[in-house]
Amino acid sequence: MPAAPHPLPAADLPPLSDVLAEARVVSLPMVTRFRGITVREAFLTRGPRGWTEFSPFVEYGDAEASAWLAAAIDFGWGDDPVPVRDTVGVNATVPSVAAGEVAGVLARFPGCRTAKVKVAEPGQQLADDVARVAAVRDVLGPEGRIRVDANTLWNVDEAEHAIHALAPYDLEYVEQPCSSVEELADVRRRVKYMGIPIAADESVRKASDPLAVARAGAADVLIVKAQPLGGIRAALGIIGLAGLPVVVSSAIDTSVGLAMGAMLAASVPHLDYDCGLGTAALLAADVTREPLTPVDGAIPVRRVEADEALLREHAADADRHAWWVARVERCYRELEQG
C-alpha cells in the first residue's frame, strides 16, 4: 500500500499575510459539556474560495495542528472536488450524559436515525455506558442504528468486556476502543464472531501513517476527518488507498468547518454510513444565520457564509485572538518546512 499523500505542498501555500488578512477568532458556547469543554474556540479566515476554518483543540502541538492549517488553506484557496451527492446523512451525537438526559440530546438532531454514543468517560462506570446506550435504543427504537466511541480509553480486556455488555443493544460498530493499532487488531479478532465491526479514528487522524491501521487489518471502518488529515484532497487520497468503508466526521467544528467535512463526504464515491457531521447541534451559537444543523437526518453540501454580526458577538477576547494568530504563524512555518 503506498504512503499517504502529504497534506499540502509548501509551493501551494498562499502568503501568510493573506491567511491572516481577514482573521477572526470566535468562542462559541456549547449546549452540553463534550470532550471536556463547554466553549469551542475556532480561527476563521476567508480565501478566494470563501470562509474556512482552523480549529485544532488547544492542547494539540504545532506539528499536529499544522495539518489542520493545511486543511483550512486547502478549503479557502484550493480547488473544490467534484461532488457525487448534494446532501449527507448524519448521526446524532450523544455525549457522556446521564441516561435521563438522552432524549433531550437526541431531540436536537431531528430525523437522525443513527446515534453515536460516547462511552468510557473517565470517572464513570460501564454501568453508566450501558444505561446511556439502553436509553438511546429506547428513543430510536429497533430500527435505529447505534455506534459507540471509547476514544482509546479501554484496554483490550476492558474493550472485550464492554462490547459484550453493550452488544444486546445492537451496535453498528465500536469506534476506537483502544489506542494502538495492535490493540485494535486484537479486539477485532476477539469480537469478530459477534459480527460487531471495529472503527478507527485516532489511529487514522493522529497517526504518522494514517494507512497503518488499514494495512494491519485492524479495523473494518475508517473515521475520516478533513481538518486533521490536512484537507479534502489529502483525505480523499487516504480513502482511495485504504480501500475500507469510511465515515466522514468532524471535531465540533463551526458550520464553516462542517461545510468542509460535508464537501469531503459529498465527494466519497461510496458512502455506506451516516456521517458525524451533525455536531453544530451541540453548539449553542454559530457563526452563520443558516447553520449546518440536521434536517430530516441530513445536512446540505454547501459553503457557509459567516455573518459579521455573529462574528462580532462571539469574538474571543484580545488575548485569545492573539494566541490563535500566533498559533497560525507557527503552524504556517511548519508547513513551509514540509
Mean pLDDT, all residues of the chain = 95
Q: Is 306 helix (H, G, I), strand (E, B) or coil?
A: coil
Quote the distance between the C-alpha of residue 147 and its chain's center: 14
Provide the H-helix boundaries in 287-317.
308-313
Place 3 in a pLDDT band, splitting at 50, 70 and 90.
low
Place 9 in a pLDDT band, splitting at 50, 70 and 90.
confident
Place 8 in a pLDDT band, splitting at 50, 70 and 90.
confident
225 is catalytic: yes
206 is catalytic: no
Task: With residue 29 as reference, give the H or E element that holds it.
Answer: strand 24-34
Please, what sign has the CA dihedral across residues 110, 151, 132, 221? positive
Q: What is the β-pairing status of strands 221-225 and 198-200?
A: parallel
Q: Is 243 left (phi over 0), alpha (psi -120 to 50) or beta?
A: left
Place 35 in a pLDDT band, splitting at 50, 70 and 90.
confident
Question: What are the DSSP calls for 121-161, one per residue?
Answer: -TT--HHHHHHHHHHHHHHH-TTSEEEEE-TT-S-HHHHHH
Partner residues linked to 60 by β-bridges: none
Q: Does 149 appear as a known binding residue?
A: yes
Place 33 in a pLDDT band, splitting at 50, 70 and 90.
confident
State the catalytic residue, choosing from 116, 192, 206, 225: 225
Checking if the pLDDT of 7 tops 70, the result is no
Nearest-CA neighbor of 126 among 84, 167, 67? Answer: 167
How would you class 27 by CB atoms within 10 Å of its CB: exposed for 0-12, middle for 13-18, buried for 19 or more? middle
d(C-alpha 157, C-alpha 162), whole Å? 9
Mean pLDDT of 75-88: 96
pLDDT tens-digit series, residues 150-206? 999 999 999 999 999 999 999 999 999 999 999 999 999 999 999 999 999 999 999
pTM reported for the whole predicted model: 0.94
Q: Does 209 appear as a known binding residue?
A: no
Q: What is the CA radius of gyration of the chain?
A: 19
Query: Residue with C-alpha cell 455506534?
Result: 147
Place 338 in a pLDDT band, splitting at 50, 70 and 90.
confident
Task: With residue 57 as reference, give the H or E element that holds it.
Answer: none
Within 10 Å of residue 325's Cβ, how many Cβ atoms? 15
pLDDT of residue 331: 98
Mean pLDDT of 25-32: 95
- Can you read off the three cell numbers belonging to residue 267? 465527494
pLDDT tens-digit series, residues 137-146? 999 999 999 9
d(C-alpha 179, C-alpha 202), whole Å? 7
pLDDT tens-digit series, residues 243-296? 999 999 998 999 999 999 999 999 999 999 999 999 999 999 999 999 999 999
pLDDT of residue 4: 61
Checking if the pLDDT of 126 tops 60, the result is yes
pLDDT of residue 2: 59
Checking if the pLDDT of 11 tops 80, the result is no
**Buried-state track 69-91, b at ≥16 Cβ within 10 A, e below 16:** bbbbbbbbbbeeeeeeeebbbbb
Place 5 in a pLDDT band, splitting at 50, 70 and 90.
low
Q: Does 101 appear as a known binding residue?
A: no
Q: Which domains does the chain possess?
A: 10-80+309-336 (3.30.390.10), 87-306 (3.20.20.120)
